[in-house]
Amino acid sequence: MSALIELSGFSKRFGDTQVLREIDLRVERGEVVVIIGPSGCGKSTLLRCLNGLEIGEGGLQFAGEALDAGSDWSRVRQRIGMVFQSYQLFPHMTVLENILLGPLQVQKRARAEVQAQAEALLTRVGLGERAGAYPRELSGGQQQRIAIVRALCMNPEVMLFDEVTAALDPEMVKEVLDVILDLADGGMTLLIVTHEMAFARAVADRILFMDEGRIAEEGEPQAFFSAPRTARAQQFLERFSYLQNVPRRK
Amino acid sequence: MPSSGLELLWQVAPQLGRGAIQTLAIALAAILCSTLGGLLYGVLGSLGRRALDALLRFYLELFRAIPLLVWLYLFFFGLPLLTGVSLSSFACAVLVLSLWGASEVGEVVRGGLQSLPRAQREAGLALGLSTWQLYRLVLIPQALKRMTPPTINVYTRLIKGSSLAVLIGVIEVIKVGQQIIERTHEHVLIYGTLFVFFFLICYPLSLASRALERRWSYA
Ligand SMILES: Nc1ncnc2c1ncn2[C@@H]1O[C@H](COP(=O)(O)OP(=O)(O)OP(=O)(O)O)[C@@H](O)[C@H]1O
Ligand SMILES: [Mg+2]
């Protein structure tokens, strides 16, 4: 069986800037892949190419189907959930309306069935009581959990998370990461971009370290974090371990 | 001869009423067309296609640079000469006002859509929405708050602009007033009545626009 996502020699440029360079990547069903790397190395761009928000060049397949600028992206996007750093709930809709929008308008499913699923998902992320609230009435952590539910309610085959805790106050990070861990435990295929190294180590089946538009190193989390092979990855990780143990001033 | 101003007004009321209906019919038709055309203009202008933007810009500048009066003459007298198609003066007035109004409303719509965070569009697309659904369900409803007050201002300008139709022979309320003045020489009374007529229509609109602006200012 083919991989769920397969990139071969995939590149993306914006004008003169080459942002992704000849990426080769296979993501199997049920795999949890965490992408890390310095700012500007192309992590977000890689995720955005997977659901056609950006169109690159080279081989891109989803569930065996080759995708390019001419593909029916609306159909593909129904199978790929995406969650953004800044939540991006629709402010003029209640929580429930946000969640039902895709299933009702795009997938044309029956309201009763979708609503039952939405309520079950809201309960699962601890927000069963907030279906009627507007996004502005919710904390960042709550909004982000709703955004995850909104994507999940489309029954996607893979979820893309782009630094979904980066905009959150520290005390709200856990409630969002717990939801993602729960998804990983449930066997969902996940592609996660994050700067939370401890979380990456805990959740990942595989770490991809990106640098300057390339996958510079990849491996199992234990091996990668304890003994990175490339100098760039070593440098990158040193900066993070420094931040976790800033030496006491003299 | 009527003895008092009130009596005169009573006598000419049906005539003025018919003129007023012409004025309102032109204005309403132009408002409707401007709104629909403006939505189309605004959506096309927010797509970020360069050739399209240049075309819309050209259209906008054309209607900003050339007085409406000239457009009216162009369509009323020029069109039959150029194409052999002649429009009634009423249709011509509605058409010209609508073309102007659509570009003005269109700029408002475009600005409103462009003020939304880019990521809102992407969040909608990521759910699989089509472009049409994205605009109808996500973007336009959000931009509506910002768009409504300036759009109402365009509407009041359309109502006032409808009086230009007199120049190509539409017998609207101002023309009717002038005819009555020719007969009766009651300048003050008739122009006063016209003043009240336009004020009563436009002032509530501009009040509404300001109230909405205040109510929605947090957005
Ligand atoms: N729409 C765009 N137009 C031009 N350049 C872009 C665009 N989007 C991204 N870039 C550039 O592409 C490069 C990679 O951006 P990307 O957002 O993928 O990085 P990232 O790894 O996600 O960084 P961060 O950790 O800061 O989110 C950056 O240099 C960025 O400036
Ligand atoms: Mg990024």
CA distance B14 to B20: 10
DSSP bridge partners of A54: none
Across A49-58, average pLDDT:
96
**Residue B85: pLDDT band by 50, 70, 90 thresholds?**
confident
pLDDT at B217 (0 to 100): 61
Ligand 1 atom closest to residue A210's alpha carbon, by position in its atom list = 21
* Percent of chain A surpassing pLDDT 70: 100
Quickly count: other Cβ atoms within 10 Å of residue B80's Cβ. 12
| Contact check, Cβ <8 Å, B120/A90 | yes
pLDDT at B9 (0 to 100): 87
SS3 labels along B100-120 = HHHHHHHHHHHHHHHCCCHHH
CA distance B147 to B140: 9
pLDDT at B3 (0 to 100): 64
CATH 3.90.190.20 fits B3-215, yes or no: no
Chain B residue numbers touching A92 (CB-CB < 8 A): 141-142
The residue whose CB lies within 8 Å of the most ligand 1 atoms, and thus the one to mutate among A45, A54, A208, is: A45
Would you say residue A50 lies in a domain? yes
Domain ranges across chain B: 3-215
Place of tokens 């890390």: A36
- Is the C-beta atom of A39 inside 6 A of ligand 1? yes
Would you say residue A249 lies in a domain? no
Least confident window among A235-239, B34-38, B60-64: A235-239
Whether residue A118 lies within 8 A of chain B, CB to CB, comes out as no
pLDDT at A243 (0 to 100): 75
Across A94-119, average pLDDT:
97
Which ligand is closest to the CA of A35, given by its number?
1
Q: Mean pLDDT over all residues of chain A?
A: 95
Least confident window among A59-63, B1-5, B134-138: B1-5
pLDDT at B219 (0 to 100): 45
* Alpha carbon of A39 to ligand 2 centroid (Å): 7
Q: What is the ipTM of this complex?
A: 0.93
**Residue A245: pLDDT over 80:** no
User: What domain range includes position A199?
Assistant: 5-244
> Does residue A105 contact residue B137 with C-beta atoms inside 8 Å?
yes
pLDDT at B188 (0 to 100): 92
Ligand 1 atom closest to residue A213's alpha carbon, by position in its atom list = 14
Whether residue A151 lies within 8 A of chain B, CB to CB, comes out as yes
Would you say residue A213 lies in a domain? yes
Quickly count: other Cβ atoms within 10 Å of residue A115's Cβ. 18
Chain B residue numbers touching A102 (CB-CB < 8 A): 127-129
Q: Mean pLDDT over all residues of chain B?
A: 91
pLDDT at B209 (0 to 100): 84
**Residue B2: pLDDT over 60:** no
pLDDT at A164 (0 to 100): 95
What H or E segment, with its residue span, contains residue A80? Answer: strand A80-83
Whether residue A108 lies within 8 A of chain B, CB to CB, comes out as no
pLDDT in tens, A131-189: 999 999 999 999 999 999 999 999 999 999 999 999 999 889 999 999 999 999 999 99
Across B13-38, average pLDDT:
94
DSSP secondary structure string for all residues of A3-61: -SEEEEEEEEEETTEEEEEEEEEEE-TT-EEEEE-STTSSHHHHHHHHTTSS--EEEEE
Shortest distance, CA B164 to any CA of chain A (angstroms): 40
Shortest distance, CA B117 to any CA of chain A (angstroms): 9
CA distance A2 to B54: 46
DSSP B187: H
pLDDT in tens, A66-90: 999 999 999 999 999 999 999 999 9
Tallying the residues shown for chain B, one arrives at: 219
Across A56-75, average pLDDT:
95
pLDDT in tens, B89-103: 999 999 999 999 999
Chain B residue numbers touching A90 (CB-CB < 8 A): 120, 123-124, 138, 142
Q: Residue A140: which CATH number?
A: 3.40.50.300
Which residue from A51, A75, A92 is facing B126, i.e. has the nearest CB? A51
pLDDT at B106 (0 to 100): 97
Across B191-200, average pLDDT:
92
- Is the C-beta atom of A246 inside 6 A of ligand 1? no
- Is the C-beta atom of A44 inside 6 A of ligand 1? yes
CA distance A2 to B211: 60
**Residue B63: pLDDT over 90:** yes
**Residue B218: pLDDT band by 50, 70, 90 thresholds?**
very low
* Alpha carbon of A48 to ligand 2 centroid (Å): 10
| Contact check, Cβ <8 Å, A150/B133 | no
The structural domain count of chain A equals 1
**Residue A217: pLDDT over 50:** yes
Across B141-156, average pLDDT:
91
